[in-house]
Copies of this chain bind each other. A is one copy, B any other.
Amino acid sequence: MIKEIPSESLNPDSFITEHVNDIRKKVVEGTVINALSGGVDSSVVTLLGHRALGARLRTVFIQNGLMREGEPQKVASFFKERGVNVEIIYAEDAFLEALKGITDPEEKREAITQTFYKEVFGRIVRESKARFLLQGTILTDVDETIAGIKRQHNVFEQLGIDPQEAFGYGIIEPLIQLRKDGVRKVGKALGLTEEYYNRIPFPGPALAARIIGEVTRDRLEIVRKATSITENMLSDTGAFQYMAILHEDRVTGMRNGKRDFGNQVEIRCWDSVDARTATPTNLPYETLTALAGEILEQVPGVVSVTYNIAPKPPSTIEAV
């Protein structure tokens, strides 16, 4: 049982000092490796690891082709300004190949996880001399794994590292007692800008978690555009998280007076403190219809836009 540190009683500066010391104590020599996704959790853990280890932390950013517009460059340059060198690994083809023909949400996550750990990040870890992995796991991830909502295996097995050999590896998860709100407080104290520590959560499988049905280059292009419009238009709402989801269902629409079976995009915008429970944000009607208008006008093939009105539970934050 992991002991939760509630956000209210968290002192971010003491937390940082304690964990910087802890990391230094664990990693007496050699290097530590971590994968940065650009989300809050991995950004905070990257800065914490960098503060503890400096150049002994090797941070890689895996471009899986499922990212939002301009994401890898944006993240790399942000961290570069803070002295953290981020290595971008281009692996789009490997991910799209692994996702080909898959429509089941669980198989999709599994294909991404396998490609990420075994094929791409696993190879990097195995080829590196690093014996420590730094990970941004938070308490909500642990809860959801226990509840069977997310699946998590032994990370070394995932990396294709032999269980025998795995005794030589160590895993460091400094954020595991925190929830999202606690992570943000720590991020702020570590010098993340508000844009980052208040960044809306974004899932590991990235835009693949925003596509119901098969993930293809074309469908990624649709959801990427819809995501960009949604994030731009909802960024000042103060909501916890907002997203655009591409449905597989085709619905009837009209273009130039003719019937057109097209795509439907679903918008979700959540009010939440820690993602455990959430309610749809009460967005003004004008915002909703303006957002739908932009998506219908700018994203080819979309004829219908909906807004989620169900809370979590029984819904979940992401649809896939």
Contacts and interface: CB of A to CB of B under 8 A. Distances in A.
Interface of A: 105, 147-149, 212-213, 247-255, 257-262, 266-267, 279-280, 282, 285, 288-289, 291-293, 296, 303-316, 318-320
Given A249-B249, A252-B318, A306-B306, 14 more contacts: A105-B252, A147-B259, A148-B259, A149-B254, A212-B249, A248-B248, A251-B315, A255-B313, A280-B288, A280-B289, A296-B314, A303-B310, A303-B314, A304-B315
In the complex this chain forms, how many copies of it are found?
2
A267 to B, nearest CB: 7
A248 B248 CA distance: 8
Given A247-B247, A320-B252, A262 B314 contact: yes
A147 B258 CA distance: 6
A103 to B, nearest CB: 10
Contacts of A252: 105, 316, 318-320
A251 B253 CA distance: 23
A254 B150 CA distance: 11
A259 B147 CA distance: 8
Contact of A309 (B148, B149, B307, B319): B307
Contacts of A291: 309
Contacts of A248: 248-249
B307 A259 contact: no
B314 A254 contact: yes
A261 B105 contact: yes
13 contacts: A147-B259, A148-B258, A148-B259, A249-B249, A252-B320, A254-B314, A255-B313, A259-B316, A267-B309, A279-B289, A292-B309, A304-B310, A304-B319
A253 B314 contact: yes
B253 A316 contact: yes
B305 A310 contact: yes
Given A309-B267, A314-B253, A314-B254, A149 B247 contact: no
Nearest to A285: B282
9 A-B pairs closest in CB distance: A306-B306, A282-B285, A292-B309, A254-B313, A251-B319, A305-B310, A288-B309, A149-B259, A212-B249
A259 to B, nearest CB: 5
Given A260-B314, A304-B308, A306-B308, A249 B251 contact: no
A273 B267 CA distance: 27
B315 A253 contact: yes
